[in-house]
Every structure is written in C-alpha cells, then in structure tokens.
Amino acid sequence: MPPRYAYLGPEGTFAEIALRSLAESRDADLIPVETVADAFAAVRDGSVEGAVVPFENSVEGAVTGTLDEFATGDPLHIAREMLVPVRLSLLARPGTDLGAIRVVASHPHATAQCRHWLRAHLPEARVHAAPSTAEAAAAVAEGADATDAAIASPAAGTRYGLAELVADIGDHQHAVTRFVLAVEPGPLPRPTGADRTTVVTLIADDHPGALLELLTEFAVRGVNLTRIESRPTGHGLGRYCFSIDCEGHIEDARVGDALAALHRFCEEVRFCGSYPRADGEAPRLRPGTSDGDFRAAAEWLDRARRGTA
C-alpha cells in the first residue's frame, strides 16, 4: 500500500503544490482535507504519514490555526519545510468578461494580498470570503452561487477548468508561503548544517521581563531566531505562549543547550522539530558556539571538577 499524505485542500491549493515538491509525495496517495484541524487529526490518528499545512506567509504573517495546532493537543513534529511563491490570478469561467465581474471570492489572505489591484481594477466588485483559494475556484467553476471570479493559483485554474483573466494580481512581488510537513514525533532528520528548529514555550511565571530572559538564553549561545510569534493561551488577555523558529538543529550543541535552558524555567517547552531549511541558508557561527567549543568546554569542566584543569 502506498504511503498517504494529507494536504490542505481542495485540489489546486498552494499546499498541494508544496506537497508535490517533496520526494516523499512521489508514489504516495495525496489526500486533500478541508481544514488545518483535519490535517492534524489525520496525522494524529495515523491515517496519514504526514500532512502539509501553511505555516506563515510573507505578507499575511503566521497561520494562527497551524501555530495553535502545534501548541496544543498531542505533539507533532515538523519534518520538512517548503517555500512556495504565491502567484495569484483572477480566474473565471471561460468567456467571462472582466467588466462583467460583480463578485470575487477567495481566501481572505489572498484577497488582502490583491487589495490594491482590486481597488484599481474592480472597485465596484464585492469580495466574498472562501475557506481556501482553491475552494473559491471550485465554487466559480460550479457556478452554484453568484460568484463570478476567484483569486487563486494558476494551478487551481487548470484544475477547475477556469480561464486566467489576469495573471499575477498580487500587490507584493515575491510573496511566498512557507508550508510545513507535520508528522508524528520520531527520529529526527539528520543535521544538514542549514537547519531550523521550532519550539513553543509557555513561560511559567509570566513576569515582566520573561520574554527578555527567554531571548537572552538564545543570544548568549549565539542562536539566532528567525521568527517569534506570541499566541494567547486562552487564559485571558496578557497571557501568551511563544512560537519560535531558530537557526540550527537540536543536535547542535548551542541549540540543544539553549532549549534545555528554556526547559529549566519555562512551564512547558514543546519541541516541534528540527529540519532542513528550505532556503539552505547556513548560520554564521559566533566564536565559542561550535560543537567543538562546547565539547572542549565540557572536557575542561570535567578536569576542573577533578582538580586537574
């Protein structure tokens, strides 16, 4: 039986594009699911090997539903990350004229990224929110409701038999969405020298300065953060946990040491995986933070404790 992977569907989403970019997807069954929650549930109940979900977008920011799924429930790991350029097209049923478009549907993030184009070219059109860009395309194809056009990927246009009225209507060139492959915890991908590590930390005693202390634990070990998001814990305004990406692999001494330090004074540190960076960018190590430096220091400490340093 081939392996099965879920992705945030329906067919034609950027998530599908992300999944298809992975070698793992080659001979696998690719299963579209309706929500991020469904994707995580499928991994947790073992019905798929992994699930590809959006994590953050260079224009719209974090996908909070994904962050929250990693932060709560049974822990899952990120095994891979994929960067997918966001190419957004205005799609309609073949034969539709731009001037005739009254209602445009898309995922709100996509709509937001085309704000200026819409204002300039379709100032009168109403904008409807759809659960995903692909679902908007599907709805237009079905012609079931009053929607005349969708904002979605060219691939979604192909998938649903829509015409690409206008290509690249996003306001930001080079917009990109970062997807991750969520899997059951297990043996980690080997360090590649250009890795990223994701954790969620819940600060035990949420005093002023707690975030500063947390960042200091990374900084003293020369570990750079590439993303930090505060998310509510659900226990009232002003109570947050932090979702953090840092450079390096938990096998790297500096990264492991920093996370262990967090573990000592945080109520919870949830390790969400170490995995190769999609951009292949290797960190520049500060002097004194290499694995060799940590090993030499441990050996020195051992000698000092025996009185032979």
Of residues 55-114, those binding a second copy (CB under 8 A) = 56-61, 64-65, 75, 77, 83, 112
Does 285 interact with a second copy (rule: CB under 8 A)? no
Q: Is 298 in the site for a second copy (CB under 8 A)?
A: yes
Burial letters 129-146, b for 16+ CB under 10 A, else e: ebebbbbbbbbbbeeeee
By rule CB under 8 A, what count of residues binds a second copy? 82
Judged by CB under 8 A, the residue of 86, 138, 217, 276 near a second copy is 217
Q: For the CB of residue 155, give the shortest distance to a second copy in the complex, in Å.
A: 21
Annotation says 197 is catalytic:
no
Which residue's CB is nearer to a second copy, number 182 or number 259? 259
User: Which of 8, 104, 259, 276 is the binder for a second copy (CB under 8 A)?
Assistant: 259
Measure CA 269 to chain center.
19
Task: Please pick, among 179, 198, 242, 289, the residue that the annotation labels catalytic.
Answer: 179
d(CA 213, CA 109): 34
Q: Name the pairing type of β-strands 29-33 and 4-8.
A: parallel
Sheet holding 225-232, edge to edge: 225-232, 240-247, 195-203, 266-276
Contacts with a second copy, 8-47, as mask; x by CB under 8 A:
-----------------------------x----------
**Binding of a second copy by 309 (CB under 8 A):** yes
Specify whether 55 is catalytic. no
Catalytic positions, written as ranges: 177, 179
